[in-house]
């Protein structure tokens, strides 16, 4: 049998690193810690080694298309593809950040939505039969959905929204913030929230597509919320440790062979959430 391989984006620290730690302990295969910065990645690998864990390393900056395609080519070439992909890399401006909202919108959607979509575009074709794909989204995206206009909510919840339509809507939000017209356009005042609304909706679209186009591969693709977790992003007042935050993403990454659900769902505390 060929070697199984799991890849976690943005895993040099925070929840991503905790996902790598858990996979190193629980996954019957090779685990790749990836980081946009080689130095920070190698340091994280060394920290895992000090715990007796042995992840492999590959550079991966999801904002850099050539980094994504190089990594995808590497995994295809070396392992024939990947078995588990966790799209964890993400960013958030701090509440107190004074960067203009339009800039926050562009930068946040670039990583959390558009770059994560680039990952899915280039990695889904190399996810092997029986593969598991997890997009680390957020309850903030679920809340942002309820703050959108009824028309937008209807589209994000519809079964017939296409990837192109969703990409157009996400771009519409970014463009509207530049003219300060996003509120009139029915959007909430949260760039991070909208980016995660987009990511969860994208997960649902691509899951339907997988079911339709590769039914025999039985790949399970889900979005999840790790909970509110003590990391550089969320600060030290959050109730969950990174290891606790990793529980739901790892549960979805390790759904047993033959499982048929959840698929195309938003999952929190291992439970499928209403969307």
Max alpha carbon distance in the chain (Å)? 56
Contacts (CB under 6 A) with ligand NAP, residues 137-166? 138
The closest alpha carbon to 140, from 252, 234, 261, belongs to 234
| Under rule CB under 6 A, residue 55 binds ligand NAP | no
Spatial separation of the C-alpha atoms in residues 145 and 225, rounded to whole Å: 14
Site string for ligand NAP, 100-119 (x = CB under 6 A): -----------x---x----
| Under rule CB under 6 A, residue 37 binds ligand NAP | yes
Smallest gap from residue 170 Cβ to ligand NAP (A): 16
Count CB neighbours of 92 within 10 A: 21
β pairing state of 266-268 and 271-272: antiparallel
Phi-psi region of 130 (alpha: psi -120 to 50; beta: other; left: phi over 0): left
Smallest gap from residue 129 Cβ to ligand NAP (A): 27
Smallest gap from residue 121 Cβ to ligand NAP (A): 15
Q: Which stretch binds ligand NAP (CB under 6 A): 45-53, 60-68, 122-130, 167-175?
A: 60-68
Tokens of 267: 């999952």
- Active site annotation includes 192: yes
β pairing state of 266-268 and 220-225: parallel
Catalytic residue among 27, 32, 79, 192: 192
Q: Which stretch binds ligand NAP (CB under 6 A): 56-64, 123-131, 173-181, 203-211?
A: 56-64
Q: Which stretch binds ligand NAP (CB under 6 A): 25-33, 145-153, 224-232, 255-263?
A: 224-232
The closest alpha carbon to 182, from 151, 149, 142, belongs to 149
Among positions 53, 56, 91, 167, the unique one binding ligand NAP when judged by CB under 6 A: 91
Looking from the CA of 65 toward its CB, the CA atoms found within 13 Å total 5
List 32's β-bridge partners, or say none: 7, 56
Among positions 6, 8, 12, 71, the unique one binding ligand NAP when judged by CB under 6 A: 12
The closest alpha carbon to 134, from 84, 94, 173, belongs to 84
Interaction site with ligand NAP (CB under 6 A) = 9-10, 12-16, 35-37, 40, 60-63, 88-92, 111, 115, 136, 138, 225-226, 228-229, 231-234, 238
């Amino acid at each position: 049998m060929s070697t199984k391989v799991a890849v976690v984006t943005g895993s040099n620290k925070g929840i991503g690193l905790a996902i790598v730690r858990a996979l190193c302990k629980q996954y019957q295969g090779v685990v790749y810690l990836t980081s946009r910065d080689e130095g920070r990645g190698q340091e994280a690998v060394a920290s895992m080694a000090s715990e007796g864990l042995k992840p492999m390393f590959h550079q991966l900056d999801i904002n850099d298309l050539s980094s994504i395609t190089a990594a995808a080519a590497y995994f295809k070439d070396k392992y024939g593809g990947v078995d588990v992909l966790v799209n964890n890399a993400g960013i958030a401006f701090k509440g107190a950040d004074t960067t203009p909202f339009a800039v926050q919108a562009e930068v946040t959607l670039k990583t959390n939505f558009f770059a994560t979509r680039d990952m899915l575009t280039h990695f889904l074709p190399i996810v092997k039969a029986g593969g598991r794909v997890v997009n680390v989204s957020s309850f903030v995206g679920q809340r942002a959905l309820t703050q959108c206009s009824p028309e937008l909510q209807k589209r994000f919840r519809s079964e017939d929204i296409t990837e192109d339509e969703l990409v157009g809507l996400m771009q519409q939000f970014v463009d509207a913030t530049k003219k300060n017209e996003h509120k009139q356009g029915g959007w909430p005042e949260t760039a991070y929230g909208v980016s995660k609304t987009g990511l969860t909706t994208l997960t649902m679209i691509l899951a339907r597509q997988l079911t339709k186009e590769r039914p025999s591969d039985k790949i399970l693709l889900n979005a999840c919320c790790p909970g509110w977790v003590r990391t550089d992003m969320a600060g030290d007042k959050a109730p969950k440790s990174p290891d606790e935050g990793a529980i739901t993403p790892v549960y979805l990454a390790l759904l047993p062979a033959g499982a048929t659900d959840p698929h195309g769902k938003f999952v929190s505390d291992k439970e499928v959430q209403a969307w």
